[in-house]
Structure 1
Amino acid sequence: MKVIGLSEFGGPEVLRTFEVPEPRPEAEEVRLRVHAAGVNPVDAMVRSGQLEQMYQGLTPPFVPGMEVAGTVEEVGNDVDPRWGLVPGTRVVGFVDNAGSWGGYSEYLALPARSVAVAPSGTSAADTAGFLNNALTAQNVLDELRLPEGATLLVTGAAGSVGGYLVELGTAAGLHVVAVAAEEDADLLRSLGAHVFIPRGPEIGRRVREELGSPVDAVADAALLHEQIVPAVRDGGQIGILRFWDGDPGRGIKVKHLNVRARRTDRAAIVRLRDLVEDGTVTLRAAMAFNADDAVAAHTRLEQGGLRERIVLEFEDEVWQPGSSGTTSLTWKP
């Protein structure tokens, strides 16, 4: 089967097609035919070598990708039939990628607990760019454990993780303060942000002055780190998505968070799917590239400024919006 991966670390140009054996599902796994795979900043970190330590001792190709949309082709033993993961069902899946096993693949065998029936009324491309970022946001909120009414500051709020932090935080009853570019103000208000503050110099001080008091916690999707510390109250919290060894002082707790810890949290995955269906969580429109154009997709990712989600499509047949959980394939011209 075809995968898109790399045999050496570097820029987008190192991505190319490889052939690897097709996977078979083991017990408690399902085999998926992948229609689309989300392209995320962590994939660029894999490609560039920033996560090289994860691949020590492993044989290339190294295949990025942590989220996919596809259809179930085969079900292993001991998969709970109540989950509805029967052949032909369209699904969304979280991929704990490692070595030659990643989302940029024609087929995947995933733990059934990492897979849920896809939201109804969505396309494969739009669905493929959803789960990793939404689960990352939910993981941050679960670790911060803020009470209803607490103030949460979200940096990088218009980004793929930040937008879900705004929506999920608002749904949890938090007072959400969003920091992003000025042109994203309307978007963030539509997602439920109570206060919008433009990004820029001395953002920590400006947040505190704008609100008249410090915030209880920061979800630092923009990786501002020490720049945002002045906005946090004594004894507050900062949720960090990439490593930072700074000490904010004043009793502020820094929580280093990794979404891979939730890779088989089926309850959370299903809940996020349900929140898409009821409109609490919004799917971003997809910017789709053919899988063979992965170099162009990663080049566009590195240019930044996106509000769409980049996805790789692995075939010309993709499922389109429909009301059932069973695949309806439409030929894409």
Structure 2
Amino acid sequence: MRALVSRPVGDGHVLELAELPRPEPGPGQVRVRIRAAAVNPVDAATASGALAAIGFHPRRDAVGLGWDLAGTVDALGSGVAGYAVGDDVIGIQHLLDVSSGAHADYALLDPVQVAPAPAGVDPVAAATIPLNALTAEQALDRAGLAPGQTLLATGAAGAVGAFAVELAVRRGLRVVALAGASDEAFVRGLGAEWFVPRGTEHLAAAVRALVPGGVDGAVDAAVLGGTAVLGAVRDRGVFVTLGAVPAAPLRGIDTGIVLVAADAERLAALSRLAAAGGLTLRVAATYPLADAAKAYERLGAGGLRGRLVLVP
């Protein structure tokens, strides 16, 4: 099979579409023939060697790339229940130290990494769900806010941030969305009650003008950092970052980090929600797997709304 890998060369890294043996499922594994695979910032960070440099995984001669996928079960290991060959699924390959990931023709996954695909949703769109929607849902779980409370969502027009807004509104939260000025109509359409333009000089003051006393919590999907966002949160509120460094717990604020974990039950619920039209799925463009380097280059240029998706 073909699999996109990153190899260290000199002081940098290069992408290579390698030919690897098709993996055979062992006990408790599901093999998926991949039909679409989204490209995420974590893929670019892995490809560049940045994650190995900070110890997220060992340095290796070739590391497999790709987390998000949609496809069809084509083989099962012994002991797997609940799936059959031919089932359409979505999945998250969230292990970093692998020979091949989701940017490939096939992937081996554990059942906890897989869920039924959303009925009636194209695989290209479905491939944008797992990493970003799970991250948003788990960040909201960590925030632990109750219906009627207020949430600041940074990066509200981004892949994680937009899901966070929609899912927060479904939980009954009142959302302040921080995004680019041109994205105001979009994030209000997701259900945000208030809007603050990205780049506002005094973010905390702007948020507190809308929500006197400060919001009950913040999900920092844009990873602006605690200094920029904490001031908008009330005393003894909660701040959740999606970056690697938590904020200082100033003013009794509960601070924490969310890095996604596989969760088949939650992913299945998100899949059903997408099938019902409850999640806004956005695809910026598609690329053949053979042109993956172009997709990575486009991701690095920024300014996307929606995910780039590779199609094997």
* Contact kept in structure 2, 1:126 and 1:286, CA below 8 Å: no
Residue of structure 1 in register with 2:251 after alignment: 250
Paired residue total: 307
Displaced runs of 4 or more, over 3 A: 9-13
Counterpart code for 2:257: H
Aligned to 1:99, the other structure's residue is in SS state: coil
* Contact kept in structure 2, 1:62 and 1:101, CA below 8 Å: yes
Residue of structure 1 in register with 2:58 after alignment: 56
- Between 1:199-208 and 1:157-166, the stretch displaced more is 199-208
CA deviation profile, 1:274-328 (whole Å, cap 9, x unmatched): 11112221211351011111111011111111112101111xxxxxxxxxxxxxx
* Contact kept in structure 2, 1:129 and 1:284, CA below 8 Å: yes
Aligned to 1:15, the other structure's residue is in SS state: strand
Residue of structure 1 in register with 2:281 after alignment: 283
* Contact kept in structure 2, 1:9 and 1:49, CA below 8 Å: no
Quote how far apart the aligned CAs of 1:78 are. 1.6
The CA distance in 1 between the partners of 2:4 and 2:231, in whole Å, is 43
Quote how far apart the aligned CAs of 1:244 are. 2.1
* Contact kept in structure 1, 2:6 and 2:13, CA below 8 Å: no
Residue of structure 1 in register with 2:16 after alignment: 16
The CA distance in 2 between the partners of 1:168 and 1:247, in whole Å, is 27
Residue of structure 1 in register with 2:294 after alignment: 296
Listed as ranges, the matches of 1:142-161 within 5 Å are 142-161=141-160
Quote how far apart the aligned CAs of 1:28 are. 2.0
Listed as ranges, the matches of 1:1-333 within 5 Å are 1-8=1-8, 14-52=14-52, 53-56=55-58, 59-80=60-81, 83=82, 85-97=83-95, 98-200=97-199, 201-225=201-225, 226-259=227-260, 262-263=261-262, 265-314=263-312
The CA distance in 2 between the partners of 1:32 and 1:286, in whole Å, is 24
Aligned to 1:25, the other structure's residue is in SS state: coil
The CA distance in 2 between the partners of 1:27 and 1:162, in whole Å, is 37
- Between 1:61-70 and 1:12-21, the stretch displaced more is 12-21
Counterpart code for 1:166: V
The CA distance in 1 between the partners of 2:9 and 2:161, in whole Å, is 28
The CA distance in 1 between the partners of 2:9 and 2:159, in whole Å, is 25
Q: Cα distance 1:241–1:303, how it changes in 2: closer, same or farther (>3 A)?
A: same
* Contact kept in structure 1, 2:284 and 2:304, CA below 8 Å: no
CA deviation profile, 1:60-82 (whole Å, cap 9, x unmatched): 321121110111101122222xx
Q: Cα distance 1:127–1:11, how it changes in 2: closer, same or farther (>3 A)?
A: farther
Give the TM-score normalised by structure 2: 0.94
* Contact kept in structure 2, 1:35 and 1:313, CA below 8 Å: yes
Contiguous gaps of at least 5 residues in structure 1: 315-333
Give the TM-score normalised by structure 1: 0.88
The CA distance in 2 between the partners of 1:223 and 1:11, in whole Å, is 27
Aligned to 1:79, the other structure's residue is in SS state: coil
* Contact kept in structure 1, 2:7 and 2:13, CA below 8 Å: no
The CA distance in 1 between the partners of 2:11 and 2:282, in whole Å, is 26
Quote how far apart the aligned CAs of 1:49 are. 1.7
The CA distance in 2 between the partners of 1:205 and 1:102, in whole Å, is 43
CA deviation profile, 1:218-255 (whole Å, cap 9, x unmatched): 10011111111110101111111112254251111211
CA RMSD of aligned residues (A): 1.8
- Between 1:171-180 and 1:246-255, the stretch displaced more is 246-255
Percent of aligned pairs with the same amino acid: 38
